[in-house]
C-alpha cells in the first residue's frame, strides 16, 4: 500500500482489533509499513492470520490472533501470546464494530400505515439486536482498552485510537442503535483522554464518513456501476461531492499517532468526511 506519508513506529507494538476487516486491515498494514510490530486481532481467526501473513510477506512484522472483544478471557489469552511474541502494547486501535439488521428500520420516516404492512418499523426493533450493536461498538472498545492499556502505564508515549463514525454527530436514518453506540464511543474517547492524560497516553478517535468498501459497495453502486439512490443522497450531503479514499483514513490515523505532529492532541474525534458533518443541507 502506498502511504500518504510515513511516521517512525520502529520498536512499537500495535494491537488492532477487527483487523480482519476492510478498514482495520489497511490500518494494520500501514502501521507495519511504518515499522511497528502489529498484532491483528479478530473474532475470525482465519482472516486475522490471512491478513497478517499478507503483511509479513512484505518483510514486515505482523501476527494474527483470534480474540472476541466482548470476552475478557479471550482478550487475556490473546494478550498473553502477544506479550510472548511481540512485546507490550504501545498503540491500541479499537476497530471492531458494526451494525445489525435487527437494529435497523426499513424506512427513513415512520408512516402510520406501516403498522399494518410488512415493514420493520421502530416498534419492531428487537432488544437483542440493539444490545448486540451497543455491546460490539461500546463494550468492544472498553474491554480491549482495559486489557491492553495496562501495558502503557509508565511508558509516557502511547496511543489509543477508537473508531467512531459520522452518525455519532448526527444520527443517520434507520440505524438508531449504531448511531447511539458510536456516540458513546466518541464520548468515551473524551473520557479516556482525560483519565489517562497524566500517564502520557493520548486517546483520540477517527470518525470516517463514507468510504466505498467491499461491504457497502452493493448499497452504493448497482451491478452496472451506476450509483444507487443512497449514493445520490450521500454525495448531495457531502460538500466535497465524493466518497473518501482509504489513504485519507490512513493519513489521519498516522497524523494522530505521530508524537511530532499531534503530541498535544488528545480527546478529539476527527471527522474524515468531505464536510458531511459540517453541512446543514441548505
Enter the C-alpha cell of residue 152: 502503557
How far is Cα 250 from Cα 129, in angstroms, rounded to an integer? 31
Q: Are 32 and 55 in contact (CB under 8 A)?
A: yes
User: Is 43 a residue that touches ligand NAD (CB under 6 A)?
Assistant: yes
For ligand NAD, which stretch binds (CB under 6 A), given 12-20, 56-64, 186-194, 269-277?
12-20
Element (DSSP H or E) covering residue 28: helix 22-33
Q: H helices then E strands: how many in the chain?
A: 10, 7
Complex with ligand NAD: residue 98 or 200, whichever CB lies closer: 98
162 binds ligand NAD (CB under 6 A): no
Measuring CA to CA, how many Å separate 247 from each of 107, 254, 278? 33, 10, 22
92 binds ligand NAD (CB under 6 A): no
Q: Which of 13, 15, 23, 78 binds ligand NAD (CB under 6 A)?
A: 23
Active site residue 178: yes
Do the bridges between strand 62-66 and strand 37-42 make them parallel or antiparallel, or are there none, so unpaired? parallel
Q: Which of 6, 44, 227, 242 binds ligand NAD (CB under 6 A)?
A: 44
> What CA–CA distances, in Å, run from 249 to 1, 55, 71, 105, 200?
13, 18, 28, 29, 24
In 10 A of CB 197, how many CB atoms?
Answer: 13
Q: Looking only at residues 222 through 281 of this chain, which bind ligand NAD when binding is defined by CB under 6 A?
A: none
Near ligand NAD by CB under 6 A: residue from 98, 129, 200, 267: 98
Member of 14, 96, 152, 256 binding ligand NAD (CB under 6 A): 96
130: Cβ–Cβ under 8 A, 6 or more apart, which residues?
102, 103, 176, 177
Scanning 96-104, 116-124, 168-176, 258-266 for contacts with ligand NAD by CB under 6 A, the matching segment is 96-104
Output 156 or 173, the one with its CB closest to ligand NAD: 173
Burial class (CB in 10 A: 0-12, 13-18, 19+), 70: middle
Single out the residue of 3, 56, 70, 125 in contact with ligand NAD (rule: CB under 6 A).
70
121/160 Cα distance (integer angstroms): 37
Task: For strands 62-66 and 91-94, give the pairing.
Answer: unpaired
Q: Among 91-99, 169-177, 192-200, 227-235, which window interacts with ligand NAD (CB under 6 A)? A: 91-99
Q: Under rule CB under 6 A, how many of the chain's residues touch ligand NAD?
A: 28
Q: Which residue has the cell 476497530?
A: 95
20 binds ligand NAD (CB under 6 A): yes
Under rule CB under 6 A, residue 139 binds ligand NAD: no
d(CA 248, CA 210): 11
Q: What is the largest CA-CA distance in the chain?
A: 61
Is 156 an interacting residue with respect to ligand NAD (CB under 6 A)? no
* Interaction between residue 158 and ligand NAD (CB under 6 A): no
* Given the residues 109, 178, 221, 279, the one annotated as active site: 178
Q: Does 170 bind ligand NAD (CB under 6 A)?
A: no
Nearer to ligand NAD, 114 or 161 (CB): 161
> Can you give the binding site for ligand NAD, defined by CB under 6 A?
17-18, 20-24, 42-44, 47, 67-70, 95-98, 136, 140, 163, 165, 208, 211, 213, 215-216
Catalytic residues: 178
Amino acid at each position: 500500500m502506498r502511504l500518504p506519508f510515513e511516521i517512525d513506529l520502529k520498536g512499537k507494538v500495535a494491537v488492532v482489533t477487527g483487523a480482519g476487516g476492510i478498514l482495520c486491515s489497511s490500518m494494520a498494514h500501514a502501521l507495519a509499513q511504518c515499522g511497528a510490530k502489529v498484532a491483528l486481532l479478530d473474532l475470525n481467526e482465519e482472516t486475522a492470520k490471512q491478513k497478517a501473513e499478507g503483511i509479513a510477506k512484505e518483510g514486515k512484522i505482523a501476527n494474527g490472533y483470534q480474540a472476541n472483544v466482548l470476552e475478557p478471557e479471550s482478550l487475556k489469552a490473546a494478550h498473553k501470546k502477544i506479550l510472548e511474541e511481540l512485546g507490550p502494547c504501545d498503540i491500541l486501535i479499537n476497530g471492531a464494530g458494526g451494525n445489525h439488521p435487527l437494529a435497523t428500520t426499513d424506512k427513513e420516516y415512520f408512516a402510520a400505515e406501516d403498522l399494518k404492512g410488512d415493514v420493520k418499523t421502530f416498534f419492531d426493533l428487537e432488544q437483542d439486536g440493539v444490545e448486540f450493536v451497543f455491546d460490539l461498538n461500546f463494550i468492544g472498545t472498553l474491554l480491549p482498552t482495559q486489557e491492553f492499556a495496562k501495558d502503557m502505564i509508565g511508558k509516557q508515549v502511547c496511543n489509543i485510537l477508537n473508531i467512531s463514525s459520522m452518525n455519532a454527530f448526527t444520527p443517520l436514518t434507520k440505524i438508531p442503535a449504531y448511531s447511539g453506540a458510536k456516540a458513546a464511543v466518541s464520548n468515551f474517547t473524551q473520557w479516556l483522554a482525560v483519565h489517562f492524560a497524566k500517564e502520557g497516553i493520548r486517546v483520540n478517535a477517527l470518525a470516517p464518513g463514507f468510504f466505498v468498501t467491499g461491504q457497502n459497495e452493493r448499497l452504493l453502486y448497482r451491478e452496472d456501476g451506476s450509483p444507487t439512490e443512497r449514493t445520490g443522497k450521500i454525495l448531495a450531503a457531502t460538500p466535497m461531492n465524493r466518497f473518501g479514499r482509504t489513504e485519507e483514513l490512513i493519513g489521519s490515523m498516522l497524523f494522530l499517532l505521530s508524537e511530532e505532529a499531534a503530541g498535544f492532541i488528545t480527546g478529539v474525534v476527527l471527522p474524515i468526511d468531505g464536510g458531511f458533518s459540517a453541512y446543514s443541507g441548505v
